């Protein structure tokens, strides 16, 4: 249990060596969580810098000289790792869960602490990227760079052409009208309709809510592709290391420099914590 010293609310001194940078960026770069998750950790009072609790933003520190800890454990840089996971149903995409439910990150076969890039809800299955590369994750979830996500959707009943056209043109949700989507019918009977839909937006439960808005209940939802990266060949609940070519593709697609990284796509030591 960490003993928390009283803080004045000021950003702790970050020394003279190097340039102070945002605390959440330091934490994310060390593989603690996504940038947003690290902000939540800071605001909860779980982070100390040189013995002082930091619970306000913005906050800055110097990773070269400062003693930065999360829940009492000092952070250290980790090698970047990248995994594709076929997420099963009833597995959640957060690093912390008070209810103790199974987490996607626990399925990554590595010692490094990873996080999910984006989220799939608890009932949705399929492809999700696990990594500790905060820079790439931040780009992949930014509206400017978001790659199309492709899903296989099974709904009850026979979906008519008018409803499918509405999906293609956009559906009005509480946040506004969704962007245009690519929709393809895979199978259609009087009992159920199976479609493939590709979207770029990342609104909360967007696919399920769009179908519900049109009067169709989603029976099964599976993400099958992120950009050009496919789920094919990954069994449910299993991870596959991102290949060098796949990593280079993601870096190019998100406008990152030095697409051809010298580091390996995933850690050689795959011993589980």
Q: Looking at the annotation, which residues are catalytic?
A: 121
* Residue carrying structure tokens 């399929």: 126
| DSSP code for 247 | H
Q: Apex CA 186: angle with CA 223 and CA 119, to 5°?
A: 10
CA nearest neighbour of 128 among 251, 240, 32: 240
Which tokens hold the place of 42? 């800071």
How many CB atoms are closer than 10 A to CB 49? 23
How far is residue 250 CA from its own chain's centroid?
A: 14
Residue 168 contacts residue 197 (beta carbons within 8 Å)? no
Residue 153 burial (10 A CB sphere; 0-12, 13-18, 19+): buried
């Amino acid at each position: 249990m960490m003993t928390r010293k009283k803080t004045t609310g000021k950003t702790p001194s970050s020394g003279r060596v190097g340039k102070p940078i945002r605390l959440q960026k330091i934490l994310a770069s060390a593989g603690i969580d996504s940038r947003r998750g690290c902000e939540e950790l800071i605001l909860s009072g779980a982070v100390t810098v040189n013995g002082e609790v930091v619970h306000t933003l913005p906050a800055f520190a110097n990773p070269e000289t400062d003693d930065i800890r999360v829940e009492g454990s000092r952070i250290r840089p980790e090698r970047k790792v990248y995994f594709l996971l076929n997420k099963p149903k009833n597995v959640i995409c957060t690093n912390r869960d008070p209810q103790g439910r199974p987490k996607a990150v626990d399925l990554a076969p590595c010692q490094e602490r990873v996080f999910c890039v984006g989220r799939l809800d608890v009932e949705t299955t399929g492809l999700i990227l696990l990594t500790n590369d905060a820079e790439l994750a931040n780009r992949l979830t930014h509206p400017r760079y978001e790659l199309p996500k492709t899903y296989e959707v099974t709904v009850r009943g026979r979906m008519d052409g008018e409803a499918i056209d509405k999906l293609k043109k956009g559906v009005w949700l509480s946040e506004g009208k969704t962007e245009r989507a690519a929709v393809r019918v895979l199978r259609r009977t009087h009992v159920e309709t199976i479609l493939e839909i590709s979207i770029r937006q990342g609104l909360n439960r967007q696919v399920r809510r769009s179908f519900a808005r049109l009067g169709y209940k989603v029976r099964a939802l599976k993400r099958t592709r992120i950009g050009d990266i496919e789920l094919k060949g990954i069994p449910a609940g299993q991870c596959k290391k991102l290949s060098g070519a796949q990593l280079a593709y993601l870096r190019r697609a998100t406008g990152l420099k030095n697409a051809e990284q010298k580091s390996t796509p995933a850690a050689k030591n795959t011993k589980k914590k």
